[in-house]
A and B are shown apart, each in its own frame.
Chain A
Amino acid sequence: MTRITNSIRTLRFAQGEMTQADLADQVGVSRQTIIAIEQGKYSPTLEMAFQIARALKTPLEDVFQFPQG
């Protein structure tokens, strides 16, 4: 289980209701991979995390969070 959480779903809607398929196309992965990341079932590589943040036009630390403790 990972402690990393993300705000991808919220940020997609903030970006004009971007669909999972749109985000997947921009990042170059399958829609299932975006779904898995959103649900916390997959921790993306650092490179993919940066690509997601770039596609959402948001700084990395606003997309992914790693709570202390």
Chain B
Amino acid sequence: MPYQEKSAWILLLASLLSYGWYVTTVLGSLAGAPLQAAAYQAPLLWSIGVSLVAVIVLHILAAIVVPGGTGKMDQRDRDIYRLSEYTGQSFVVIGALAAMAMALAAWHPFWIANVIYLCFMLAAVLSTITRIALYRFGFHPW
């Protein structure tokens, strides 16, 4: 498995697990209270922070435990990376526009923060799934 595909798997798992933990923690702390009353700030920051650290540690472990390939990208890696990032970027734009509209409409910060985080997570998931699919099933840039 190419190093870049391994990296995509790590990012995908880290994104899904950290977001899953965040949602479970916030919903679990509600105890019947409305959603926007949830203490979401600390879990959100922990979720992002732990996810970043986990990605770094897992990359190091993957390089040690599952050797094969290097972090050096060749033309195919760059082509696949570029297309997958373009694909994921759509959700970043959607998240930014949604957050801007919510702020203009004076929505509660809970919803603004969460729509941004959700779209970041969806962008990462879409981007990494695209990357894995292009490595697995082929890629013809022209």
Q: How many residue pairs at the A-B interface have CB separations less than 8 Å?
A: 43
The docked-state distance in angstroms from the alpha carbon of A29 to that of B70 is 11
B residues contacting the other copy or chain, number (CB 8 A)? 15
Does A43 contact B75, Cβ atoms closer than 8 Å?
no
Nearest chain B residue, comparing its CB with the CB of A41? B138
User: What is the interface of chain B mostly: helix, strand, loop, or mixed?
Assistant: loop
Does A40 contact B138, Cβ atoms closer than 8 Å?
yes
Decide yes or no: A42 and B76 within 8 Å by CB, A1-B140, A32-B2, A36-B138 being known contacts: yes
Does A43 contact B74, Cβ atoms closer than 8 Å?
no
Does A41 contact B139, Cβ atoms closer than 8 Å?
yes
Does A29 contact B75, Cβ atoms closer than 8 Å?
yes
User: What is the interface of chain A mostly: helix, strand, loop, or mixed?
Assistant: loop
Size range of the chain A interface in the assembly? 10 to 19
Residues of A within 8 A of B72 (CB): 30
Does B138 contact A48, Cβ atoms closer than 8 Å?
no
> Most chain-B CB neighbours within 10 Å: which of A2, A30, A45?
A30
Give per-residue flags for A25-69: 1 if the beta carbon is below 8 A from chain B beta carbons, else 0: 000111011001001111111001000000000000000000000
Does A30 contact B140, Cβ atoms closer than 8 Å?
no
Does A30 contact B137, Cβ atoms closer than 8 Å?
no
Chain B residues at the A interface, C-beta cutoff of 8 Å: 1-2, 69-70, 72, 74-77, 137-142
Chain A residues at the B interface, C-beta cutoff of 8 Å: 1-2, 28-30, 32-33, 36, 39-45, 48
The 8 A-B residue pairs with the shortest CB-CB distance in the complex, in nearest-first order: A41-B138, A29-B74, A32-B2, A43-B140, A33-B76, A2-B140, A42-B76, A30-B74
Q: 12 extra interchain contacts, Cβ-Cβ under 8 A, other than A40-B138, A42-B139?
A: A1-B138, A28-B74, A30-B70, A30-B72, A30-B76, A32-B2, A41-B137, A43-B139, A43-B142, A44-B76, A45-B141, A45-B142
